[in-house]
Amino acid sequence: MRVGPIDLDSTLGCGQVFRWRKEGDVWRGILDGTEVGLRQHGASISAEGAIGERTLERYFRSDDDLDLIREEIAKDGAMAAMVAQFPGLRLIRQDPWECAASYVLATNANIPRIQKMIESVCRAFGDALPGGGYDFPRPDQIAGGKEAARSCGLGYRCGRFVEFARMVDRDEIDLGSLRNVEYGECVKELKSCPGIGDKVADCVAVFGLDHLDAFPVDVRIKKAMEELYGVSGTYRQVNQYGRDYFGRYAGYAQEYIYYAFQRTNRLR
DNA sequence: AACCAGGTCTCGA
DNA sequence: TCGAGACCTGGT
Protein backbone atom coordinates (compact mmCIF):
# COMPACT_ATOMS: atom_id res chain seq x y z
CA MET A 1 0.00 0.00 0.00
CA ARG A 2 1.65 3.18 -1.12
CA VAL A 3 0.60 5.42 1.71
CA GLY A 4 3.82 5.62 3.61
CA PRO A 5 5.43 6.76 5.61
CA ILE A 6 2.53 6.50 8.01
CA ASP A 7 2.00 5.59 11.64
CA LEU A 8 -1.56 4.43 12.29
CA ASP A 9 -1.48 4.80 16.08
CA SER A 10 -0.71 8.50 16.00
CA THR A 11 -2.59 9.29 12.79
CA LEU A 12 -5.84 7.60 13.83
CA GLY A 13 -5.42 8.20 17.55
CA CYS A 14 -4.41 11.85 17.68
CA GLY A 15 -7.98 13.11 17.87
CA GLN A 16 -8.50 14.45 14.36
CA VAL A 17 -10.97 11.66 13.52
CA PHE A 18 -13.35 9.90 15.88
CA ARG A 19 -14.64 6.56 14.58
CA TRP A 20 -11.52 4.39 14.31
CA ARG A 21 -10.93 1.77 17.04
CA LYS A 22 -7.95 -0.44 17.65
CA GLU A 23 -8.71 -4.12 18.27
CA GLY A 24 -5.53 -5.96 19.03
CA ASP A 25 -3.17 -4.77 16.34
CA VAL A 26 -5.91 -3.91 13.81
CA TRP A 27 -7.45 -0.49 13.38
CA ARG A 28 -11.11 -0.86 12.39
CA GLY A 29 -13.19 1.86 10.80
CA ILE A 30 -15.54 2.73 7.97
CA LEU A 31 -14.35 4.35 4.79
CA ASP A 32 -16.62 5.27 1.89
CA GLY A 33 -19.37 3.10 3.39
CA THR A 34 -17.05 0.10 3.69
CA GLU A 35 -15.81 -1.59 6.84
CA VAL A 36 -12.04 -1.67 6.81
CA GLY A 37 -9.26 -3.15 8.94
CA LEU A 38 -5.78 -1.65 8.81
CA ARG A 39 -2.50 -3.12 9.99
CA GLN A 40 0.87 -1.51 10.49
CA HIS A 41 3.93 -2.99 8.73
CA GLY A 42 6.98 -0.93 9.45
CA ALA A 43 6.36 2.50 7.97
CA SER A 44 3.66 1.11 5.67
CA ILE A 45 0.19 -0.41 6.11
CA SER A 46 -2.01 -3.17 4.72
CA ALA A 47 -5.79 -3.21 4.45
CA GLU A 48 -8.46 -5.89 4.71
CA GLY A 49 -11.92 -5.17 3.32
CA ALA A 50 -13.29 -4.09 -0.04
CA ILE A 51 -11.39 -0.87 -0.18
CA GLY A 52 -9.43 0.44 -3.14
CA GLU A 53 -5.83 1.44 -2.84
CA ARG A 54 -6.60 4.80 -4.38
CA THR A 55 -9.22 5.48 -1.73
CA LEU A 56 -6.72 4.81 1.03
CA GLU A 57 -4.07 6.94 -0.60
CA ARG A 58 -6.48 9.80 -0.86
CA TYR A 59 -7.75 9.38 2.70
CA PHE A 60 -4.27 9.34 4.17
CA ARG A 61 -3.08 12.22 2.01
CA SER A 62 -0.33 10.26 0.32
CA ASP A 63 -0.02 13.25 -1.98
CA ASP A 64 1.48 15.23 0.90
CA ASP A 65 5.26 15.33 1.01
CA LEU A 66 5.54 14.49 4.69
CA ASP A 67 9.30 14.97 4.86
CA LEU A 68 9.03 18.44 3.40
CA ILE A 69 6.13 19.34 5.66
CA ARG A 70 7.87 18.15 8.81
CA GLU A 71 10.95 20.11 7.85
CA GLU A 72 8.93 23.27 7.22
CA ILE A 73 7.01 23.23 10.50
CA ALA A 74 10.09 22.46 12.63
CA LYS A 75 10.68 26.17 13.16
CA ASP A 76 12.33 25.81 16.57
CA GLY A 77 13.75 23.27 18.99
CA ALA A 78 10.44 22.42 20.61
CA MET A 79 8.70 21.79 17.31
CA ALA A 80 11.69 19.88 15.96
CA ALA A 81 11.46 17.60 18.99
CA MET A 82 7.74 16.98 18.47
CA VAL A 83 8.23 16.26 14.80
CA ALA A 84 11.02 13.84 15.66
CA GLN A 85 8.90 12.16 18.32
CA PHE A 86 6.05 11.25 15.99
CA PRO A 87 7.32 10.09 12.62
CA GLY A 88 4.44 9.06 10.41
CA LEU A 89 1.79 11.26 11.98
CA ARG A 90 -0.23 12.44 8.98
CA LEU A 91 -3.31 14.55 8.57
CA ILE A 92 -6.32 12.73 7.14
CA ARG A 93 -8.47 13.91 4.24
CA GLN A 94 -11.92 13.37 5.74
CA ASP A 95 -15.27 13.56 4.04
CA PRO A 96 -16.32 17.21 4.48
CA TRP A 97 -19.86 16.43 5.63
CA GLU A 98 -18.87 13.76 8.15
CA CYS A 99 -16.05 15.93 9.39
CA ALA A 100 -18.23 19.02 9.82
CA ALA A 101 -21.12 17.17 11.45
CA SER A 102 -18.75 15.35 13.79
CA TYR A 103 -17.06 18.55 14.91
CA VAL A 104 -20.40 20.22 15.53
CA LEU A 105 -20.93 17.43 18.07
CA ALA A 106 -17.36 17.75 19.36
CA THR A 107 -17.88 21.12 21.01
CA ASN A 108 -17.16 21.37 24.72
CA ALA A 109 -17.01 17.61 25.30
CA ASN A 110 -14.18 15.16 25.88
CA ILE A 111 -13.16 12.61 23.28
CA PRO A 112 -14.78 9.52 24.87
CA ARG A 113 -18.08 11.34 25.00
CA ILE A 114 -17.69 12.69 21.48
CA GLN A 115 -17.15 9.14 20.24
CA LYS A 116 -20.26 7.99 22.05
CA MET A 117 -22.38 10.77 20.59
CA ILE A 118 -21.18 10.02 17.08
CA GLU A 119 -21.74 6.26 17.41
CA SER A 120 -25.20 6.92 18.80
CA VAL A 121 -26.06 9.13 15.82
CA CYS A 122 -24.74 6.54 13.38
CA ARG A 123 -26.83 3.82 15.00
CA ALA A 124 -29.94 6.00 14.99
CA PHE A 125 -29.71 7.33 11.43
CA GLY A 126 -27.00 5.57 9.44
CA ASP A 127 -27.19 2.61 7.08
CA ALA A 128 -26.51 -0.79 8.65
CA LEU A 129 -23.41 -2.44 7.20
CA PRO A 130 -22.70 -6.17 6.69
CA GLY A 131 -20.15 -6.37 9.49
CA GLY A 132 -22.62 -5.07 12.07
CA GLY A 133 -21.50 -1.45 12.01
CA TYR A 134 -23.33 1.63 10.87
CA ASP A 135 -22.29 4.14 8.27
CA PHE A 136 -22.16 7.83 9.13
CA PRO A 137 -25.61 9.17 8.17
CA ARG A 138 -26.19 11.41 5.19
CA PRO A 139 -27.75 14.86 5.74
CA ASP A 140 -31.14 13.71 4.42
CA GLN A 141 -31.22 10.86 6.92
CA ILE A 142 -30.89 13.30 9.80
CA ALA A 143 -32.84 16.27 8.48
CA GLY A 144 -36.27 14.97 9.47
CA GLY A 145 -35.28 13.39 12.75
CA LYS A 146 -35.20 16.06 15.41
CA GLU A 147 -37.14 13.88 17.83
CA ALA A 148 -35.01 10.79 17.23
CA ALA A 149 -31.88 12.88 17.72
CA ARG A 150 -32.95 13.82 21.23
CA SER A 151 -32.33 10.26 22.41
CA CYS A 152 -28.71 10.38 21.25
CA GLY A 153 -27.42 12.27 24.28
CA LEU A 154 -26.22 15.27 22.32
CA GLY A 155 -27.29 17.88 24.85
CA TYR A 156 -27.50 21.38 23.46
CA ARG A 157 -25.70 20.24 20.31
CA CYS A 158 -28.84 18.43 19.18
CA GLY A 159 -30.64 21.40 17.64
CA ARG A 160 -27.53 22.71 15.92
CA PHE A 161 -26.71 19.27 14.57
CA VAL A 162 -30.12 18.72 12.97
CA GLU A 163 -30.34 22.30 11.68
CA PHE A 164 -26.93 21.92 10.08
CA ALA A 165 -28.02 18.67 8.43
CA ARG A 166 -31.11 20.42 7.05
CA MET A 167 -29.02 23.25 5.71
CA VAL A 168 -26.73 20.87 3.84
CA ASP A 169 -29.65 18.74 2.69
CA ARG A 170 -31.36 21.81 1.20
CA ASP A 171 -28.14 22.71 -0.62
CA GLU A 172 -27.95 26.00 1.22
CA ILE A 173 -24.25 25.33 1.44
CA ASP A 174 -22.01 23.19 -0.74
CA LEU A 175 -19.25 21.98 1.57
CA GLY A 176 -17.17 20.35 -1.15
CA SER A 177 -16.97 23.55 -3.17
CA LEU A 178 -15.16 25.22 -0.27
CA ARG A 179 -12.07 23.27 -1.27
CA ASN A 180 -11.76 25.63 -4.20
CA VAL A 181 -11.85 28.93 -2.32
CA GLU A 182 -9.16 30.48 -0.16
CA TYR A 183 -8.93 29.76 3.55
CA GLY A 184 -10.58 33.00 4.68
CA GLU A 185 -13.58 32.61 2.41
CA CYS A 186 -13.91 28.95 3.39
CA VAL A 187 -14.00 29.75 7.10
CA LYS A 188 -16.43 32.59 6.57
CA GLU A 189 -18.86 30.33 4.72
CA LEU A 190 -18.56 27.54 7.26
CA LYS A 191 -19.30 29.93 10.11
CA SER A 192 -22.65 30.75 8.55
CA CYS A 193 -23.77 27.25 9.57
CA PRO A 194 -25.41 26.49 12.91
CA GLY A 195 -22.97 24.94 15.39
CA ILE A 196 -19.90 26.10 13.49
CA GLY A 197 -17.79 28.82 15.06
CA ASP A 198 -14.11 29.78 14.72
CA LYS A 199 -12.68 26.50 15.97
CA VAL A 200 -14.95 24.03 14.18
CA ALA A 201 -14.56 26.00 10.98
CA ASP A 202 -10.79 25.66 11.19
CA CYS A 203 -11.06 21.94 11.88
CA VAL A 204 -13.29 21.37 8.88
CA ALA A 205 -11.05 23.55 6.72
CA VAL A 206 -7.93 21.54 7.49
CA PHE A 207 -9.29 18.01 8.09
CA GLY A 208 -11.92 18.01 5.37
CA LEU A 209 -11.25 20.71 2.82
CA ASP A 210 -7.49 20.64 2.17
CA HIS A 211 -6.78 24.01 3.74
CA LEU A 212 -3.54 22.93 5.38
CA ASP A 213 -2.84 26.53 6.38
CA ALA A 214 -5.73 26.49 8.87
CA PHE A 215 -4.80 26.46 12.57
CA PRO A 216 -7.58 25.31 14.90
CA VAL A 217 -7.23 26.66 18.43
CA ASP A 218 -8.94 24.65 21.16
CA VAL A 219 -8.27 24.82 24.91
CA ARG A 220 -5.26 22.53 24.64
CA ILE A 221 -3.64 24.39 21.75
CA LYS A 222 -4.31 27.62 23.59
CA LYS A 223 -2.33 26.36 26.60
CA ALA A 224 0.39 24.94 24.39
CA MET A 225 0.87 28.18 22.48
CA GLU A 226 1.15 30.04 25.77
CA GLU A 227 3.74 27.59 27.10
CA LEU A 228 5.74 27.27 23.91
CA TYR A 229 5.66 30.83 22.58
CA GLY A 230 4.09 33.00 25.25
CA VAL A 231 1.19 33.67 22.92
CA SER A 232 -2.23 34.32 24.40
CA GLY A 233 -5.31 36.39 23.69
CA THR A 234 -8.40 36.02 21.56
CA TYR A 235 -9.05 33.15 19.19
CA ARG A 236 -8.14 35.40 16.30
CA GLN A 237 -4.80 36.38 17.82
CA VAL A 238 -3.60 32.85 18.62
CA ASN A 239 -4.90 31.56 15.31
CA GLN A 240 -3.17 34.32 13.37
CA TYR A 241 0.10 33.78 15.21
CA GLY A 242 0.06 30.06 14.42
CA ARG A 243 -0.74 30.66 10.77
CA ASP A 244 1.95 33.30 10.39
CA TYR A 245 4.62 31.41 12.31
CA PHE A 246 4.15 27.95 10.80
CA GLY A 247 3.09 29.00 7.31
CA ARG A 248 1.32 26.95 4.66
CA TYR A 249 1.38 23.73 6.72
CA ALA A 250 0.22 25.27 10.00
CA GLY A 251 -2.51 22.64 10.21
CA TYR A 252 0.10 19.90 10.44
CA ALA A 253 1.96 21.84 13.12
CA GLN A 254 -1.24 22.15 15.09
CA GLU A 255 -1.78 18.39 15.03
CA TYR A 256 1.76 17.58 16.16
CA ILE A 257 1.35 20.02 19.06
CA TYR A 258 -2.07 18.67 19.94
CA TYR A 259 -0.88 15.09 20.00
CA ALA A 260 2.31 15.88 21.91
CA PHE A 261 0.41 17.71 24.64
CA GLN A 262 -2.31 15.08 24.74
CA ARG A 263 0.31 12.49 25.57
CA THR A 264 2.16 14.50 28.20
CA ASN A 265 -1.10 15.30 29.99
CA ARG A 266 -2.06 11.64 30.02
CA LEU A 267 1.02 10.84 32.09
CA ARG A 268 0.05 13.18 34.92
C1' DA B 1 -17.82 15.52 44.36
C1' DA B 2 -16.37 19.11 41.72
C1' DC B 3 -14.22 20.25 37.61
C1' DC B 4 -13.55 20.08 32.83
C1' DA B 5 -14.18 18.81 28.06
C1' DG B 6 -10.89 19.52 20.36
C1' DG B 7 -17.01 25.73 21.82
C1' DT B 8 -21.02 28.25 20.21
C1' DC B 9 -24.33 31.74 20.89
C1' DT B 10 -26.12 35.87 22.70
C1' DC B 11 -25.73 40.27 24.53
C1' DG B 12 -23.70 44.56 26.23
C1' DA B 13 -19.87 47.85 26.11
C1' DT C 1 -14.42 43.62 18.03
C1' DC C 2 -14.08 41.84 22.51
C1' DG C 3 -15.38 39.75 27.11
C1' DA C 4 -18.68 37.47 30.12
C1' DG C 5 -22.30 33.92 31.03
C1' DA C 6 -25.18 30.40 29.95
C1' DC C 7 -25.41 25.94 28.33
C1' DC C 8 -26.44 19.57 28.16
C1' DT C 9 -24.00 15.88 29.77
C1' DG C 10 -20.71 12.48 31.14
C1' DG C 11 -15.54 11.46 32.01
C1' DT C 12 -12.09 11.60 35.32
A167-205 pLDDT, tens digit each: 999 999 999 999 999 999 999 999 999 999 999 999 999
For residue A122, give its domain range. Answer: 96-208
Q: Which residues sit opposite A46 in a β-bridge?
A: A39
What is the domain-level CATH number for residue A37?
3.30.310.40
Task: Round and report the angstrom distance from CA (A1) to C1' (B6).
Answer: 30
A159 and A187 fall within a common domain = yes
Dmax over CA atoms of chain A, in Å, equals 52
The reply to whether the CB atom of residue A106 sits less than 7 A from any atom in nucleic acid chain B is yes
pLDDT at A57: 96
Same domain, A191 and A229: no
Does A102 score more than 70 pLDDT?
Answer: yes
Residue where a domain stops, chosen among A51, A85, A119: A85
Kindly determine whether the C-beta of residue A109 is less than 7 Å away from any atom of nucleic acid strand B.
yes
Per-residue model confidence (pLDDT) at position A221: 97
Among candidates A74, A62, A87, which has minimal Cα distance to A4?
A62
pLDDT in tens, A69-85: 999 999 999 999 999 99
Q: Does A245 reside within a domain?
A: yes
**Measured distance CA(A94)–CA(A111) in Å, rounded:** 18
Report the protein residue whose CA lies nearest the C1' of nucleotide C8.
A155
Is the distance from CB of A2 to CB of A53 less than 8 angstroms? yes
pTM metric for this prediction: 0.97
Q: Three-state SS for A209?
A: coil
A80 and A134 housed in the same domain: no
- Is it the case that residue A265 has pLDDT exceeding 80? no
Query: Given this model, what pLDDT does residue A4 score?
Result: 73
Question: What local confidence, expressed as pLDDT, does residue A2 receive?
Answer: 62
Q: What is the pLDDT of residues A234-251, one digit of tens each?
A: 999 999 999 999 999 999
**CB proximity A199–strand B (7 Å threshold):** yes
The answer to whether position A57 is within a domain reads: yes
Distance CA A246, CA A250 (A): 5
The answer as to whether A268 is a domain residue is: no
The 10s digit of each residue's pLDDT in A149-172 is 999 999 999 999 999 999 999 999
Q: Which nucleotide is nearest to A234 (CA to C1')?
A: C2
Q: Which of strand C's nucleotides are less than 7 A from any protein C-beta? A: 1-3, 7-12
Q: Is A225 exposed, middle or buried (0-12, 13-18, 19+ CB in 10 A)?
A: buried
Same-domain status, A49 and A22? yes
Which of A85, A119, A135 marks a domain boundary?
Answer: A85
Please choose, from the candidates A25, A30, A57, the residue with its C-alpha nearest in 3D space to the C-alpha of residue A41. A25
Residue A113 DSSP SS3: helix
User: Does an H or E element contain A244, and which?
Assistant: helix A235-246
A182 and A248 fall within a common domain: no
Assess whether A15 (CB) lies less than 7 A from strand B. yes
Q: Is residue A138 located within the same domain as residue A184?
A: yes
Question: Which pLDDT score is estimated for A266?
Answer: 59
* Mean of pLDDT over chain A: 96
Contact flag, residue A112 CB and nucleic strand C, below 7 A = yes
Q: Specify the pLDDT at position A263.
A: 82
Residues contacting residue A111 through CB under 8 Å, at least 6 positions apart: A15, A18
